[in-house]
Structures are given as structure tokens and as C-alpha cells.
């Protein structure tokens, strides 16, 4: 089963589970996400569902007319954020105008979370690639540098993907197989064990774990 | 906004009546232990060295001298595994954390200025 929701990361805390263990959890407010469009392979070349999400809980004031028309066609309010998830198999359960909520995760154990990581700016190789750097003292004169970057006249260039200083973070990353600890449908809240990428109030996509999808 | 939701989620798991003991008190911590499918209660008695953190994250450290060796255990204050915390003797402390007891040897190691409960009763 493929299924995804757009949500907001609210932060982290701890809760006790049934075995009285203190579990670190990330709180995510996911959905409600209305379906705006159902794409079919006959019509669009592939099967997917387009869902929307309003991070602040209400429709934005400024709407372009094409976007407004797209939403009204489905019979829903304009959504600030649109996303698609592909469907494998039967797509008949989704129809434009349906509202998807966290309750759909209730019989699922693990999910993946996709989000943009915290931006860390221009960083050196020690922080960015976990290089060890050199000795601090004894006149080594080699502290946090990356060492040699290449070879000699052959090949006469630096290889691609060489680990060097540069911009770190602010990239989309996926955390896989996060266990669902609790679902609170009244508040559209889902608690996941462990951490997810991004800062507080950042947009996240929660989807059914890819690895259980393959097994079934 | 998000902080109030976090507070709400953890609030229902907080145990009431876990603020009656403070740093320096001699306490008996009744801990639920599951052994071979059976549950029994184990008592860990000692002095509270510190209380740290807040909300659901709050913990307290208890130190006791067991057969000549100092033993410290850190408990989450709101853990469901703690049945109850009995206060044996209340104390008057000049410190927020009683870490100086770690350096003490012998009789001094368990000595904390006690609150004179009988004097209060006389009043």
C-alpha cells in the first residue's frame, strides 16, 4: 500500500510506551490533506494521487486564478502545498475532494519521513565529511584541512565527487522505517520514534515505509 | 503553538504527587521489577542528590552506600515503574545538588542536616 501525507514537524519529546519504556518521539502534525486530482495511466501516463496541505491550517489569501480553478474543480479550498504520491495497483479508493487524515496510518507499523535538513552554511571537511583533521600541536601546521585533493600529471584533474568544503545541509533527506508510537486523529497528530530531518515547523512528507511496501 | 501541543501530549503521562521529596531527603524508592513473569517491588533507599530537568524529562538521583560502595541510581520522576517514593527524613540543605557527599567517607557520607520535625510538632 502506498500512501503519503504532508505535515509539519512540531518538535520532539518523550513518552512512555506500553512496556513502560521512555521513548524519544517526534511530533508531526500531518494533514488533513484533500485529494485534488487522481492521475491515471490512461489519462496522464502514470498512476498517482495529488494531495494538498495548508501549513497554517487555512487557505492562503493570495491565489493565482489557475491554481484556484484547479482546486475548485476538485471541490476543495486552495491549498498552499501540493504533492503527489504514486499508486501501485488499485486507485479507486481515491477521488478528488476526499480528505485524507492520519487515521489511514492506524494499521501501519513503520513510515518514512522526507524533509529538508537544517542548513549549516559553508562548512569544512571535518564537520561536513567527518574527516579527522591533523594534530592540534607539536608544530604540525595541519589542523582541519582535507589533505591531498588529487594525483599528478595523470589524470591532471581532481576526481568528481571529491569530498571538499562547501555548503552543508538544506537538502531533502529521507529517514526510513520510523516506528509509529501513537496516533491522535482528533488533532491530526502522529508520534514517531526517533528524529526526523528539518527544524521545528518545517514541512515534512510522511509516507508508508518503502521497505514494508516491498515485502507485502 | 507547537509547544502547547507537546505539553498536552506529555501532560497525561505525568504522575501526580511526585513533588513531595526534595534534594537532601532520605527516601525509599519502591521500584516495580518484573522477574520471570512475576512482578514484585524492590526498594532502593538513599539520599536524593539532585533533581534535574522539567516536565516528563525530569529525573532524580538517589545515592546509597551498599556494602561499603557508593551506588547511585537515576530515576525518571514520572516513570510508571516507580510505585511510590517514601520520605524517611527531611533535611535542610544549603545546596541545590548534594554532589559533595560523593567525596565523603564513612559516617559523614550519609550525614545531612535534618529538619527537626519534633520541634515543629510542639508548636
Instruction: Encode pLDDT of A101-149 as tens digits.
Output: 888 888 888 999 999 999 999 999 999 999 999 999 999 999 999 999 9
Query: What average pLDDT does the segment A204-212 reach?
Result: 88
Distance CA(A205)–CA(A183), nearest Å, equals 16
pLDDT the model gives residue B113: 72
Judged by CB atoms closer than 8 Å, whether chains meet at B56 and A200 is answered as: no
Task: Please report which residue ranges of chain B form alpha helices under DSSP H.
Answer: 2-11, 117-122
pLDDT the model gives residue A126: 95
**Chain A CB contacts of B80 below 8 Å:** 16, 20
Question: Has residue A58 got a pLDDT over 80?
Answer: no
pLDDT the model gives residue B122: 53
Confidence of residue A162 (pLDDT cuts 50, 70, 90): very high
Closest by alpha carbon to A55, among A212, A208, A213, A205? Answer: A205
Question: Has residue A186 got a pLDDT over 90?
Answer: no
**Chain B CB contacts of A191 below 8 Å:** 9
Question: Has residue A159 got a pLDDT over 90?
Answer: yes
pLDDT the model gives residue A99: 87
At a CB cut-off of 8 Å and minimum separation 6, what does B93 contact? B22, B23, B24, B112, B113
Instruction: Determine contact, residues A204/A31, Cβ cutoff 8 Å.
Output: no
ipTM of the complex: 0.75
Question: Has residue A164 got a pLDDT over 80?
Answer: yes
- Tens digit of pLDDT for each residue in A4-35? 899 999 999 999 888 888 899 999 998 788 89
Instruction: Determine contact, residues B61/B29, Cβ cutoff 8 Å.
Output: no
Judged by CB atoms closer than 8 Å, whether chains meet at A13 and B10 is answered as: yes
Residue B99: CB atoms within 10 A of its CB come to 12
Confidence of residue B116 (pLDDT cuts 50, 70, 90): low
Query: What average pLDDT does the segment A197-212 reach?
Result: 90
**Chain A CB contacts of B6 below 8 Å:** 10-11, 13, 27
Interface of A with B in 126-185 (CB under 8 A): 184
Q: Which of A55-64, A180-189, B33-42, B50-59 has the lowest mean pLDDT?
A: A55-64
Amino acid at each position: 500500500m502506498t500512501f503519503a501525507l504532508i505535515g509539519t514537524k512540531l518538535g520532539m519529546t518523550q513518552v512512555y510506551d506500553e512496556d513502560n519504556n521512555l521513548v524519544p518521539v517526534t511530533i508531526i502534525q500531518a494533514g488533513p490533506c484533500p485529494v485534488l486530482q487522481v492521475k491515471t495511466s490512461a489519462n496522464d501516463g502514470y498512476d498517482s494521487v495529488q494531495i494538498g496541505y495548508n501549513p497554517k491550517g487555512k487557505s492562503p489569501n493570495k491565489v493565482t486564478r489557475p491554481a484556484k480553478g484547479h482546486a475548485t474543480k476538485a471541490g476543495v479550498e486552495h491549498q498552499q502545498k501540493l504533492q503527489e504520491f504514486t499508486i501501485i495497483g488499485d486507485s479507486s479508493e481515491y477521488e478528488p475532494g476526499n480528505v485524507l487524515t492520519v487515521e489511514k496510518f492506524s494499521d501501519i507499523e513503520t513510515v518514512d519521513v522526507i524533509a529538508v535538513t537544517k542548513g549549516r552554511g559553508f562548512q569544512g571537511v571535518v564537520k561536513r565529511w567527518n574527516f579527522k583533521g591533523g594534530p592540534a600541536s607539536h608544530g604540525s601546521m595541519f589542523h582541519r584541512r582535507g589533505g591531498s585533493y588529487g594525483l599528478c600529471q595523470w589524470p591532471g584533474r581532481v576526481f568528481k565527487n571529491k569530498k571538499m568544503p562547501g555548503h552543508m545541509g538544506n537538502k531533502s533527506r529521507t529517514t526510513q522505517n520510523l516506528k509509529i508510537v501513537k496516533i491522535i486523529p482528533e488533532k491530526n497528530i502522529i508520534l514517531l520514534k526517533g528524529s526526523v530531518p528539518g527544524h521545528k515547523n518545517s514541512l515534512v512528507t510522511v509516507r508508508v515505509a518503502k521497505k514494508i511496501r516491498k515485502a507485502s | 503553538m507547537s509547544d502547547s501541543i507537546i505539553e498536552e501530549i506529555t501532560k497525561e503521562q505525568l504522575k501526580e504527587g511526585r513533588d513531595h521529596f526534595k534534594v537532601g531527603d532520605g527516601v525509599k524508592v519502591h521500584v516495580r521489577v518484573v522477574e520471570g513473569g512475576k512482578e514484585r517491588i524492590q526498594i532502593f533507599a538513599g539520599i536524593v542528590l539532585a533533581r534535574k530537568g522539567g516536565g516528563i524529562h525530569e529525573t532524580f538521583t538517589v545515592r546509597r552506600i551498599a556494602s561499603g560502595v557508593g551506588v547511585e541510581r537515576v530515576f525518571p520522576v514520572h516513570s510508571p515503574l516507580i510505585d511510590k517514593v517514601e520520605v524517611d527524613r527531611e533535611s535542610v540543605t544549603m545546596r541545590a545538588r548534594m554532589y559533595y557527599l560523593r567525596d565523603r567517607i564513612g559516617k559523614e557520607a550519609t550525614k545531612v542536616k535534618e529538619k527537626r520535625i519534633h520541634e515543629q510538632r510542639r508548636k
